[in-house]
Chain A
Amino acid sequence: MTTHEPREPERSDVFIALPDIDEETQRRLHDRLVREAQTAGLLDVAYRTIDSPVGPLLLAATAKGLVRVAYGREDHEKVLERLARDLSPRILHAPARLDAAAKEIDEYFAGLRQGFDLPVDFSLSRGFRRLVLTRLRAIGYGQTASYAAVAVAVGSPKAVRAVGTACATNPIPVVVPCHRVVRSDGSIGQYVGGVDAKKTLLTLEGRPAD
């Protein structure tokens, strides 16, 4: 924490020795703000971070559901700035709203869960990309599908590249399983969390990929 000094040269010795506001107090006030914001319907986006075998994940949720899962390589600070711009700047660190999501994702990485029962908010995706993402949930745990097969499934067999873009810009990776979409030749293809993360997820699901 920084200490605040008067920005004008005049100062008073009376205020020089003020201690910083301690962390316990800040936490108490922050918790209260989160509770009151939630009650007043002003908590548009809640977020928290969790640790996972593929690095720290940022989870963000609106009142509708999980809206964003971000890998560390996406730069969590930048992700939050974009959420402020694209959804609402009324964003607070509010882990409680993400308890269920955190628990299910933990269980998934522990090999105890094969599907997610979480409400999901696709507000960050539009049009064709959104259509692709909603279809991805049909690819079950341990299964893979090619970009071409997904293109066929959404009724646009020629839109293989666009399917690739939709997967690469998936705002809710892991939970919306874009990692299960691979190249037609069986090679792994790109991934928003990096190729290593994609391998880790497929291996976890019993589909070791090279």
Chain B
Amino acid sequence: MSTPLPPFEEIVTTHGPTVLRVCRAVLGPMDADDAWSETFLAALRAYPTLRPDSNVEAWLVTIAHRKAIDQTRARARRPLPTEPLPEHPAPSKEDRRDGDLWVAMQALPFKQRVAVTYHYVAGMPYADVAALIGGSQDAARRAAADGIATLRKTYRKGGPR
């Protein structure tokens, strides 16, 4: 008998912060909360059928990736960005410290942004990154390297203080 699935609460506590960073890096701080919530709600729905020996974080990042693609498409159809919606709570002080990085990330092409995020923020090996975003492992590695090179130029050196 395989080990049973742990309570979903444990999944949220363990992987919630990393998934939020992934959402912020791919979509920016404003849309990250929505993407995180959609990801975890979809994960909760599918959770009872997850194989207990699965890599849960990779599974969550895969769901988040699909949500990010949906949101990016929806955003492209949306008219001009308006002022921040009132129901979006203002980011807390700690959130703002890394906000500049997420803004710099938004300027990267989508492929570079997701490659950088899944490798450097989610810690996924390039083989898994390539499986998720399509293309070869080398292409994923190149996309991430190009993204990092751009970030070095655009994002204040030394990072948040």
Residues of A near any B CB (own CB < 8 A): 1, 4-8, 10-22, 24-26, 28-30, 32-33, 36-37, 40, 42, 45, 47, 80-81, 83-85, 88-93
Contact = CB atoms under 8 A, between A and B. Distances in A.
A89 B160 contact: no
A123 to B, nearest CB: 16
A105 B21 CA distance: 40
B68 to A, nearest CB: 16
Interface of B: 4-9, 12, 16-18, 20-21, 33, 36-37, 40-41, 44-45, 47-48, 89, 91-95, 97-98, 101, 116, 119-126, 148, 151-152, 155, 158-160
Given A90-B8, A93-B9, A19 B97 contact: yes
Contact of A19 (B44, B98, B151): B98
Contacts of B89: 28
A21 B121 contact: no
B123 A8 contact: yes
Contacts, number: 131
Contacts of A6: 119-120, 123
B125 A7 contact: yes
- Per CB-CB distance, the 5 closest pairs between chain A and chain B, nearest first, are A91-B7, A22-B94, A17-B159, A21-B17, A89-B5
Contacts of A26: 16-17
B6 A14 contact: no
A18 B9 contact: no
Contact of A18 (B6, B33, B159): B159
A91 to B, nearest CB: 4
B88 to A, nearest CB: 11
Contact of A7 (B95, B98, B123): B123
B8 A92 contact: yes
Contacts of B33: 28-29, 32
Contacts of A13: 159
Contacts of B122: 4
B161 to A, nearest CB: 8
Contacts of B44: 33, 37, 42, 90, 92
9 contacts: A7-B123, A21-B21, A22-B95, A45-B7, A81-B6, A88-B48, A89-B48, A90-B8, A92-B7
